Amino acid sequence: MSEFTIQESIELIPEEDFSHKKSVLKRKVEEILGEDQTFYKLANNVLVGEDQKGKVIDAMKDVTTKRSSRDTGISERALEKIPTIISNFSNQVADMKTQRATITFKEIASLYE
């Protein structure tokens, strides 16, 4: 009986394009960003005029500015990160679909022995 084995990578399932997932996630983060803008628009209208000064006013402005830029920063970071996480996801899925396998071949004649 004649047989031999080889080891090679086999593609179990063809690769797929998952890039549409980026826009699904981005859209939601943009909605969050939009809601933040609605919120800070409400806050920024409270003090009339840009040039008002004073202890209480400065504190109110400071907190609002910090919060606003932090919230924007979080959403922007998420937006920047989305392409990377989708790319990581795609790569890991692609890796998983291609596996190392040991394949054993038998000579046809020997199969009928």
Partner 1 sequence: MPLDKITKEEIWMRLVNSEYGNNPEKMEETFRTIYLEETGELFEGEVEVFHSSDSNVTRKINSNYDGTALSISSGGEQNLYVISQGTQGMEDWLYNIKGPFAGIAVDQVEAAKGFTDDAITHFNIDTNKSDVISFNHSLGLHNSGMTALTDGTFDEVYGVNGLMLSPYELAQYDVEFAKLVQDEFNLRRITEIQDVPLEDIKKFALDYYGERDVKIHNTVSEDDPLYSISEKFGFITEFSETKIIDTNPNVSGLKEMIDKIPAPVIESLRVLATDYAEGDEKGGFNQSMNQLLGANIESLDEYSISGAIKWYREHPEEVDQTISGLNDNLPRVLENIRLMEENSEVIFDELYKGGYITADQKKVMIEELGNLEKELTNLQEAIQYNVDMHDDDGWFDKIRRGLGDAGLAAVAAILYFKIPNILDRIKESGTLESLEGIVDSHSIPEMLNALAKGNRSYVGKDLVFTSDAGGGDPIKVNMSAAMRLYTQGVTSLEVKQTLITELETLVRDEIEFAYKDEKWKVMREIYNVESSPSSYAHELGQYRFPSYKISSVNVLHEIYPLEQADLDEEIAEMKYSVDTGFSYIENYRKAIEELFKEDEEVSALFDLSRRI
Q: Which residues bind partner 1 (CB under 8 A)?
A: 3-4, 8, 10-13, 18, 21, 24-25, 28-29, 31-32, 35-36, 38-39, 42-43, 45-49, 52-57, 59-60, 63, 67, 70-71, 74-75, 77-78, 81-82, 84-86, 88-89, 92-93, 95-97, 99-109, 111
Provide the terminal-to-terminal Cα distance of the chain, rounded to the nearest Å: 8
Nearer to partner 1, 17 or 75 (CB): 75
Q: Which residues contact 94 (CB under 8 A, 6 or more apart)?
A: 15
| Shortest distance (Å) from residue 17 CB to partner 1 | 13
Q: Which two tokens stand for residue 28?
A: 């939601």
| Shortest distance (Å) from residue 13 CB to partner 1 | 6
| Shortest distance (Å) from residue 95 CB to partner 1 | 8
Q: Which residues contact 37 (CB under 8 A, 6 or more apart)?
A: none
Orientation angle between helical segments 55-97 and 20-44, nearest 10 degrees: 170
